């Protein structure tokens, strides 16, 4: 069977140093040079980058039996999230998916607009006073405040959780990129800052769970829905640890993804697209800057993609970032143009997967879209945002696709 083409790299580390130096640039060059399936080696790990809708559908949906999520990155993320939806263990994953999915039904978020408006009020007042804002930080603060209310109906200081989540995500990405991760041998070898951040999150979340268990009149939020869904099932009660794992997973997966995508939306839409449909603005922002820019699967049985051998024990990488900019499927792919998502525009199925595909498709898809469209509509209803000059804006890919620094914008109030 044929071996897919790809760069040789160095004898020991393969292409690891090129990937670490500029992941997006390296992967973009690789598909340009070698095509839609590229064989890569990162130290001892062999992987295939696949960049075609058919191959992506093959891995994430059609040939599920040949792939699972027991990857290096999943193992490192599990150090924080425990055995929840991001677990490599199929039984644990199924149980949590069955439990969490109902808590994210669209009808659960019918009134979310009012909550978002309440939280945006003080932010808008501050924008009018300060006028120069870092849109990245603003969106981080706003989305974590929304997440805490949706999840726990709590008044805890969002800043407390935000800082801890940032440390956890940064440290986890550093360990994913490192060829060797000592903390996989013993959890005691985690960095002190990481241990402290996880400890801070645990303290807050366990406290919220214990109080909720005692609460006679539970508020309508995700935590209550998780408890109720499980009790109605008549299964064994969810332990505090399982609830904590579910809650932390949702905070980690939902916060930075949505916040970063929103800042990309404002950075680009403020160039004359303010009157476009907010849902189309957001869809276009996560086409060009999909928060989950890379998806990994482990190969559990030998497979063949487009005639190339995909060996058991290796992994497969799918990059929504690359696929969303594939010239074969997107006209003028680098141009920000929300009208691509207007109803009558033709699109290739599975060439757009900001929320993934198959059974692991994002549980927060509806929620993220609803929150984002509401925020975009409200901001552009009241403000014109203008990027301050002399700010080179670049990407800084980690677990999510972040900006490489603050992005300062002038906020001009424009409501009569
Ligand atoms: C713009 C915002 C978001 C983007 C771009 C996004 C993207 C994704 C993607 C691509 C996946 C699939 C990963 C894979 O197949 O390995 C995923 C899974 C997931 N997302 Fe999201 N997400 C967003 C917001 C949210 C929100 C708001 C929540 C919840 C509050 C959430 C919770 C999850 C969970 C729990 C999973 C794992 C699902 C599973 O494996 O069964 N996400 N997300």
**What secondary structure does DSSP assign to 151-208, as a single string?**
HH---S-HHHHHHHHHHHHHHHHHHHHSS--GGGT-GGGS-HHHHHHHHHHHHHHHHH
pLDDT in tens, 160-184: 888 898 898 888 888 888 777 777 7
pLDDT at 314 over 90: yes
Other CB atoms within 10 A of residue 345 CB: 11
Q: Which of 136-150, 157-171, 388-402 ranks highest by mean pLDDT? A: 136-150
Q: How far is the CA of 218 from the centre of ligand 1 (A)?
A: 26
- Mean pLDDT throughout 301-324? 97
Query: Does ligand 1 lie within 6 Å of residue 257's CB atom?
Result: yes
7 within domain boundaries? no
Which numbered atom of ligand 1 lies nearest the CA of 297? 16
Mean predicted confidence (pLDDT) in 329-335: 96
2 occurs within a structural domain: no
pLDDT digits (tens, 9 = 90+) for 343-355: 877 677 889 999 9
**What's residue 270's pLDDT?**
96
Three-state SS string over 202-262 comes to HHHHHHHHHHHHHCCCCCCCHHHHHHHHHHHHCCCCCCHHHHHHHHHHHHHHHHHHHHHHH
pLDDT tens profile 10-55: 989 999 999 999 999 999 999 999 999 999 999 888 999 999 999 9
Output the furthest CA–CA distance in the chain (Å, rounded).
68
Alpha-carbon distance values, 392 to 109, 135, 267, 346, 349 (Å): 37, 15, 12, 33, 34
Ligand 1 atom 17, closest CA: 362
Closest atom, ligand 1, to C-alpha of 93: 41
pLDDT at residue 61 greater than cutoff 90: yes
Q: Are 379 and 133 in contact (CB under 8 A)?
A: no
Can you give the residue range of the structural domain that contains 268?
A: 16-413
Ligand 1 neighbourhood includes 355 CB (under 6 angstroms): yes
Q: Tell me, using a 6 A CB cutoff, whether residue 288 lines ligand 1.
A: no
Reported pTM: 0.94
Q: Ligand 1 centroid to 203 CA: how many Å?
A: 25
CA dist 40 and 48 (Å) reads 6
CATH code for the domain in which residue 196 is found:
1.10.630.10
Of 405, 52, 17, nearest to 7 (Cα)?
Answer: 17
The pLDDT mean for the chain works out to: 92
Domain count, the chain: 1
- Identify whether 5 is part of a domain: no
Dist CA 147 CA 377 (whole Å) = 19
Residue 11: inside a domain:
no
Are the beta carbons of 183 and 175 closer than 8 angstroms? yes
Residue 206: the pLDDT is 93
Distance CA(195)–CA(204), nearest Å, equals: 14
**Closest CA relative to residue 209, chosen from 286, 262, 156:** 156
Token representation of residue 58: 């093959």
Strands 45-50 and 315-318, how do they pair? Answer: parallel
pLDDT, tens digit, 9 for 90 and up, residues 191-239: 889 899 989 999 999 999 999 988 889 999 999 998 887 666 666 567 8
Q: In this predicted structure, what is the pLDDT of residue 144? A: 95
pLDDT-based confidence at residue 89 (cuts at 50, 70, 90): confident
Residue 346 carries which DSSP code? -
- Is the minimum distance from the CB of 56 to ligand 1 under 6 angstroms? no
Residue-level pLDDT at 91 = 84
pLDDT of residue 313: 95
- Say if ligand 1 is within 6 A of residue 261 CB: yes
Ligand 1 centre to CA of 241 (Å) is: 21
Is residue 1 assigned to a domain?
no
CA atoms of 104 and 73, how far apart (whole Å) = 25
How far apart are the CA of 415 and the centre of ligand 1, in A? 35
Q: What is the pLDDT of residue 379?
A: 98
**Residue to mutate (ligand 1; options 84, 143, 223, 253; most atoms within 8 A of CB):** 253
Q: Is residue 3 part of a domain?
A: no
């Amino acid at each position: 069977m044929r071996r897919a083409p790809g760069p040789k790299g160095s004898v020991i580390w393969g292409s690891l140093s090129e990937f670490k130096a500029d992941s997006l640039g390296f992967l973009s060059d690789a598909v340009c040079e070698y095509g839609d399936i590229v064989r890569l080696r990162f130290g001892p790990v062999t992987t295939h980058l696949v960049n075609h809708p058919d191959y992506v559908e093959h891995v994430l949906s059609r040939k599920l039996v040949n792939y699972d999520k027991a990857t290096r990155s999943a193992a490192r993320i599990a150090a924080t999230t425990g055995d929840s939806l991001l677990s490599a263990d199929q039984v644990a994953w199924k149980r949590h998916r069955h439990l969490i999915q109902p808590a994210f039904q669209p009808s659960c978020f019918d009134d979310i607009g009012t909550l978002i408006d309440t939280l945006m009020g003080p932010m808008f007042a501050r924008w009018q006073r300060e006028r120069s804002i870092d849109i990245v930080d603003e969106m981080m603060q706003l989305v974590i405040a929304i997440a805490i209310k949706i999840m726990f109906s709590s008044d805890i200081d969002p800043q407390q959780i935000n800082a801890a989540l940032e440390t956890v995500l940064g440290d986890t990405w550093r360990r994913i990129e490192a060829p060797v991760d000592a903390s996989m041998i013993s959890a005691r070898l985690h960095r002190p800052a990481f241990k402290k951040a996880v400890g801070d999150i645990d303290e807050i979340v366990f406290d919220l769970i214990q109080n909720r268990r005692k609460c006679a009149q539970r508020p309508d939020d995700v935590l209550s829905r998780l408890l109720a869904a499980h009790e109605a099932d008549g299964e064994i009660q969810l332990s505090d640890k399982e609830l904590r794992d579910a809650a932390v997973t949702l905070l980690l997966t939902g916060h930075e993804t949505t916040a970063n995508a929103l800042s990309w939306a404002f950075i680009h839409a403020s160039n004359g697209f303010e009157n476009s449909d907010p849902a189309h603005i957001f869809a276009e922002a996560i086409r060009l800057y999909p928060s989950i820019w890379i998806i990994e699967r482990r190969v559990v049985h030998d497979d063949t993609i487009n005639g190339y051998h995909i060996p058991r024990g290796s992994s497969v990488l799918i990059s929504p970032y690359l696929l969303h900019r594939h010239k074969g499927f997107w006209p003028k792919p680098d141009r920000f143009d929300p009208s691509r998502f207007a109803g009558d525009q033709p699109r290739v199925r599975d060439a757009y997967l900001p929320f993934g595909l198959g059974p692991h498709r994002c549980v927060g898809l509806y929620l993220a879209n609803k929150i984002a469209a509401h925020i975009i509509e409200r901001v552009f209803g009241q403000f014109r945002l203008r990027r301050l000059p002399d700010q080179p804006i670049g990407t800084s890919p980690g677990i999510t696709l972040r900006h490489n620094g603050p992005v300062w914008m002038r906020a001009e109030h424009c409501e009569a």
